Amino acid sequence: MWLLLALLQAAVLPARPCEAPAEAALAVRAFAARLLGLAMESGQDADPGIYVGLRLGNEHDLSMEQRYLQNLQDTFQGLYGRSLHAASHPSHGHQHRDTDSVPETGRLALYLLGLRATCPPPDPTTQRFPVTWLKYYLEKDWAGSRHHGHPLTSYYQYSLGVLALCVHHKRVREEVIQRLLVAEQHRRFRHVDGNAVDTEAVAALAFACLEKEKHIGARLAAELQAAVHRTKARLVEAQRADGLIGNAFSTPLAMQVFIATNTCRTAYGRAMAALLRHLDSFTSAATMAQAVLALNGRSYLSIASMQCQEELGTLTPIFLEPMPLGPHNVTVRLVVECPVLGCPQQLLYDSLVSAPAGASLLDLLRAAPPQGSKNFTFETQDTTYGPFLTSVQGMAARPKERHYWQLLSRLGTSLHMGVADYRPKDGNTVILRLSEW
């Protein structure tokens, strides 16, 4: 009888206000199955952001998730399962991070969010050292921000760090929080494409989490609340006529802010409709894992109140075939610019490149002909967003100087995709420019 009533209710009531509409359920399920497929086939190490996406979906492949968690723990416990003291006095045979290395604030934060989303929860002692390491990295980032005017990693990773500590109910020093509040007030969150939405959203999630913490005083709570309000207003302002907030890839993070603050009204509904129309644009596991949360009406904050109930182990992976190429060729102009200090010359390469229609920019880089006596050379580094271009014509971008190889169109606009996802059309020009961010 109760079951019948529950089924009837599900059939009559609309989906919860912060979820995809019921008629999109199949599309959302297929999307989660594609993420599962990517997570299973990727030859890379397990990634904490992907694990969070898998855990916060409505359906699961529980044994795969278990294996994935094991891989994650092998990697992270090896690096952060020991005290900071042990890291500065290493013993033989132990893999470890030393205290001088670049902070891994973002990945460690996502790892801790993942552990908190695990059912049944893992042994709490496994979280002790990673939490201490995250606090240490956040302090390093904070000190870096006082010195350089920005965190050593990025405000995105800094926000993830604050958020993860908050979700674990760990205290964050007020000065560390204030740094983020000041950055929010002074609008310091721009990404290379001029889109600040991703970082603003993660910072607002951190503020929304902190605001609810018991140890936060009334004055700071009011400041945090005001920052969340301001961010929401800016997200609504950033909403385009087609409903996207920023671009397709920042929209799910913006939606998380509405979900976390229970304000799933007009802007959220329009964003959800737009996101559902753009699901095919998502090809990398990292961006898909972010989108799965929003599609299921969840946010990183949902992890704080997650209850372990029986979970549906009904998800089966979808593996997509690579896009067919050709039969015709496209010809694209490839330009390499090097306008920063230390470049041998401004223009490092300018040539037409031919490849089968549908080829990615990465395929084009591989097909680029020599110029003069010099071969075209480049290097990439694998990430869960896809291959990240690190070096072109022997010029490596130096992360410490905040240099990176930016991808632009002929009109100078920054592309919204990486080298493996962007597929230039016949007659296009693509510029690779060594830029500062």
- Tell me which residues touch ligand B12 (CB under 6 A): 106-107, 110, 153-154, 156-157, 191-193, 195, 198-199, 246-247, 249-250, 253, 284, 286-287, 290, 383-389, 399, 404-407, 414-419, 421, 437
Comparison of 339 and 399: residue with beta carbon closer to ligand B12: 399
3-state SS, one letter per residue, for 60-74 = CCHHHHHHHHHHHHH
Comparison of 330 and 389: residue with beta carbon closer to ligand B12: 389
- As measured in angstroms, the least distance from the Cβ of 3 to ligand B12 is 40
Comparison of 25 and 136: residue with beta carbon closer to ligand B12: 136
CA distances for 419 relative to 193, 335, 381, 393, angstroms: 15, 14, 11, 16
One-letter amino acid at 131 equals: V
Q: For residue 329, give the H/E element and its range.
A: strand 329-337
Is residue 343 exposed (0-12), middle (13-18) or buried (19+ Cβ within 10 Å)? middle
- As measured in angstroms, the least distance from the Cβ of 32 to ligand B12 is 18
CB 421 within 8 A of CB 284: yes
Pick the closest to residue 101 from 61, 172, 54, 153 (CA basis): 153
Query: Could you tell me whether strands 429-436 and 329-337 are parallel, antiparallel, or unpaired per DSSP bridges?
Result: parallel
> How many CA atoms within 13 Å lie on the side-chain side of 199?
21
- As measured in angstroms, the least distance from the Cβ of 288 to ligand B12 is 9
Helices (H) and strands (E) in the chain — how many of each?
Answer: 15, 7
Count the residues in the chain. 437
Gap between the Cα atoms of 34 and 7, Å rounded: 28
Gap between the Cα atoms of 121 and 123, Å rounded: 7
Comparison of 58 and 157: residue with beta carbon closer to ligand B12: 157
> How many other CB atoms are there within 10 angstroms of residue 307's CB atom?
5
Comparison of 15 and 367: residue with beta carbon closer to ligand B12: 367
CB 386 within 8 A of CB 284: yes
- As measured in angstroms, the least distance from the Cβ of 254 to ligand B12 is 10
Comparison of 216 and 282: residue with beta carbon closer to ligand B12: 282
Comparison of 236 and 419: residue with beta carbon closer to ligand B12: 419
- As measured in angstroms, the least distance from the Cβ of 267 to ligand B12 is 17
Comparison of 136 and 388: residue with beta carbon closer to ligand B12: 388
Comparison of 154 and 302: residue with beta carbon closer to ligand B12: 154
123: which DSSP letter? Answer: P
- As measured in angstroms, the least distance from the Cβ of 123 to ligand B12 is 24
- As measured in angstroms, the least distance from the Cβ of 24 to ligand B12 is 21
Gap between the Cα atoms of 97 and 102, Å rounded: 10
- As measured in angstroms, the least distance from the Cβ of 190 to ligand B12 is 10
- As measured in angstroms, the least distance from the Cβ of 93 to ligand B12 is 27
- As measured in angstroms, the least distance from the Cβ of 279 to ligand B12 is 13
Pick the closest to residue 49 from 166, 160, 165, 193 (CA basis): 160
State both tokens at 345. Answer: 């010359």
Residue nearest ligand B12, Cβ-based: 418
Comparison of 198 and 211: residue with beta carbon closer to ligand B12: 198
82: which DSSP letter? Answer: S
